Chain A
Amino acid sequence: MKSRRDRIDVIYDILSAIEKEGGQIKPTRLMYKSNLSHKLLKSHMQDLIERGVIEETTIKKKNYIVITESGKKFISELRKMKRFLESFGL
């Protein structure tokens, strides 16, 4: 059985989902891609917006979530952290 995702995993899944879509994604697609409920996604997004990692923007009257430059650095930092923890079996 797969263990419960912790906060690092969830944030990583959100950011990598945006990255995989070319740096911008619609909120509903992000919800599906990151496997989160609307409520949980909203709370994590709020945190990530405050950190300056992602931004909400409107393109052709449609809402998008965009990863920022510091977000790209942040995801690479998360990748390192995950690799570090995995090397200890955590």
Chain B
Amino acid sequence: MFRLIFSPRWFYGIDILFEIFFVFITLLISFYGYRIYKLSKNKEHKYFSISFLLIAISFAFKILTNFDIYFNVFRTMKIGLHTLVLSYLYNSGIIYVTGLFIYKLLTTLAFFVLLLITTKKHSKNDVYLIVYLIFISTVFSSFTYYIFHITLVIILFFLCSYLYNNYKKRKERSKFLVFFSFLMIFLGQFAFMMIFLATEFYVVGEIFLLAGYSILLYNYLLVSRK
């Protein structure tokens, strides 16, 4: 079984630590969202909680996939800028393929759900159509890595523009922090798209994600402890 690794060798395992941190933050926000839903019984709040839970689960699958890649490495070959990894465990390929597929599908769905609940106006047909397109883009991104990140960049662009307008309406620090954190996540996905230029873009992307999720955590602590 062979897989493509986009991370520079020195970054192996560091990204896993980052992602464990992302799981912790997104679970925290999801749990808080669920507490709010229990009180409000508002469906928007339920979906808000679910979307962060989906992000947490997706990162858990990415961690699993990265573990599978980094610790089952038999031999690596450099092909252009990418590293082709040959593994001696043939059946572990299932973990790689399934893990990556679930990671991509859940991440895209999570940000799409966030976009839906923040922009509010949508019909059921739009939702079904977009879920179908997300599924298709996830399936095809198994072959073309960049499709997944392009889809996310587009969803995050709309989400960021909504969050910026939300901040512009009433300029508050917490609104700015949420907008800024999603901007960082957007830039992170953008950097992942640039991996074909240099594998260091993977590190840049992960650092942007780290900044984004850290700001989300900071905002959560700021708002919930005041």
CB <8 Å contact, B45 and A90: yes
Q: Does B223 contact A (CB under 8 A)?
A: yes
Asked whether B175 is an interface residue with its Cβ less than 8 Å from the other chain, the reply is: yes
Q: Which of A44-90 contact B (CB under 8 A)?
A: 78, 80-81, 83-90
Contact (Cβ within 8 A) B48 A88: yes
Structural contact, A90 and B118, CB atoms closer than 8 A = yes
Residues of A at under 8 Å CB distance from B? 6-8, 11, 78, 80-81, 83-90
Contact of A8 among B40, B172, B175 (CB under 8 A): B40
The proximity string for B residues 208-226 relative to A, scoring 1 for CB distances below 8 Å and 0 otherwise, is 0000000000011001101
Task: Chain B residues near A89: list those with CB within 8 A.
Answer: 118, 162-163, 166, 175, 178
The residues of A that contact B39 with a CB separation of less than 8 Å are 7-8, 11, 78, 81
Given A6-B42, A90-B45, A90-B117, residue A84 in contact with residue B162 (CB < 8 A): no
B226 to chain A, nearest CB (A): 6
Could you say which of A8, A11, A78, A83 contacts B223, with CB atoms under 8 Å apart? A83
Partner of A7, one of B41, B118, B162, B223: B41
Q: Are B32 and A84 in contact (CB under 8 A)?
A: yes
7 A-B contact pairs sorted by A residue (CB < 8 Å) = A6-B40, A83-B223, A84-B174, A85-B48, A87-B174, A88-B163, A88-B166
CB-defined contacts of A84 to chain B, threshold 8 Å: 32, 36, 174, 220, 223-224
DSSP majority for the B interface?
A: helix
Contact residue among B48, B117, B166, B224 (Cβ-Cβ distance under 8 Å from A80): B224
Given A6-B42, A81-B36 in contact, is the A86-B224 Cβ separation under 8 Å?
no
In the complex, B113 has a CB within 8 A of chain A: no
Query: CB distance A87 to B175 under 8 Å?
Result: yes
A86 to B167, CA, bound (A): 10
Q: How far is the CB of A44 from chain B (nearest CB, A)?
A: 12
Q: Which of B38-71 contact A (CB under 8 A)?
A: 39-42, 44-45, 48
* Further contacts, 19 of them, CB under 8 A, given A11-B39, A88-B163: A8-B40, A8-B42, A81-B39, A83-B174, A84-B32, A86-B174, A87-B175, A87-B177, A87-B219, A87-B223, A88-B118, A88-B178, A89-B163, A89-B166, A89-B175, A89-B178, A90-B44, A90-B48, A90-B118
**A8 CA to B44 CA, complexed, in Å:** 13
